[in-house]
Amino acid sequence: MPKKCCVVGFPVGHSLSPAMHNAAFKHLGLDFVYEACEVDPRNFVDFMDRVIDGEFHGVSVTVPFKQTVMDYVNVLSPCAKSIDAVNTLFFDGKTLVGENTDWFGIYMILKELVRFKRRRILIYGAGGAARSALYAAKDLDLDIFLTNRTKSKGEKLAKDFDVKYCDPINLPEVDVFVNATSIGLSGQNFLPVSEKWLRRVESVFDMVYTGTILEQTAKKIGCKVISGKKMLLYQGAKQFEIWTGEAAPIRVMEKAIGL
Ligand code: ATR
């Protein structure tokens, strides 16, 4: 019987994780299989029963379960605890561990973007994705601004991470813009900031990798655009290493997601 891994989310039909991980398993000749589990939030408890019963060797956790899932794990890794979000599950013996590899995916991207002193960054969002981005940006010691549709949530998060909060309709000039909202993920797809403001931004990193209006507009006006697929790749490579104990075949995974 192959060891089974999966991604759990709602929706999850768009996910490239099965193609990416299955290509990597195959390349290394590992007896693993990875599938997508679309789970209605009302049935998440039942899904977690299956996880706790040991049906899966490893689980990728995506929207909207990255925080909910924390109630079900036995142990949180130190960074999952600091970020307050989990995107990876694995067993250490019988202990179900909640880990966060998202921040590492973001860290790898930001590190490259700010190599030449472009250090002012605006993160849009206040969910788990934004928390991971804040953790990575703090680690790189960037000049960080945060904005969000719901002001109270944004302000609280900015306070938690000790960064500056700003109103979405009065944004400061920055070098890097990170979309950590779910805009463009399921149906709703629009530009979260004005095109005029975006024109002054050098690099745009959209965590949503479905070809958003933001990504299209940023390309059109000449920003450097980093696809959310890059983040998928780096966070997935870390997961692969956790689950298999093998070095991730990055080039194979990259190709499998069309990068
Ligand atoms: P995740 O854990 O993946 O970050 P989440 O916790 O559901 O997902 O957070 C989604 C983020 O996208 C939130 O910041 C949300 O803004 P609110 O705090 O105002 O809800 C943001 N978001 C979702 N839809 C949005 C929209 N149509 N316009 C602006 N922001 C949106």
At residue 86, the pLDDT reads 96
At residue 210, the pLDDT reads 85
Q: Which two tokens stand for residue 214?
A: 């933001």
- pLDDT tens digit sequence for 99-146: 999 999 999 999 998 887 779 999 999 988 999 999 999 999 999 999
Whole-prediction pTM value? 0.92
Lowest mean pLDDT among 75-84, 114-123, 206-215: 114-123
Q: For residue 187, is pLDDT > 90?
A: no
10 vs 44, 89, 102, 107, 125, CA distance in Å? Answer: 10, 17, 18, 25, 19
Pocket flag, ligand 1, residue 251 (CB < 6 Å): no
At residue 42, the pLDDT reads 98
CA of 139 to the centre of ligand 1 (A): 23
Half-sphere exposure of 71 (CA within 13 A, CB side): 7
CA of 222 to the centre of ligand 1 (A): 26
Mean pLDDT along residues 28-48: 98
At residue 114, the pLDDT reads 85
Q: How far apart are CA 194 and CA 179, in angstroms?
A: 13
| 159 burial level (CB within 10 Å; 0-12, 13-18, 19+) | exposed
At residue 89, the pLDDT reads 98
At residue 128, the pLDDT reads 87
Residue that the structure tokens 């983040």 belong to: 231
At residue 185, the pLDDT reads 81
At residue 63, the pLDDT reads 86
Pocket flag, ligand 1, residue 228 (CB < 6 Å): no
153 Cα nearest atom in ligand 1: 18
Band of residue 96 on the pLDDT scale cut at 50, 70, 90: very high
Q: Which of 149, 155, 183, 191 is the best mutation target for the ligand 1 pocket, counting ligand atoms within 8 Å of the beta carbon and taking the most?
A: 149
Pocket flag, ligand 1, residue 149 (CB < 6 Å): yes
Residues that are catalytic: 66
Question: Quick one: what percent of the chain has pLDDT higher than 70?
Answer: 100
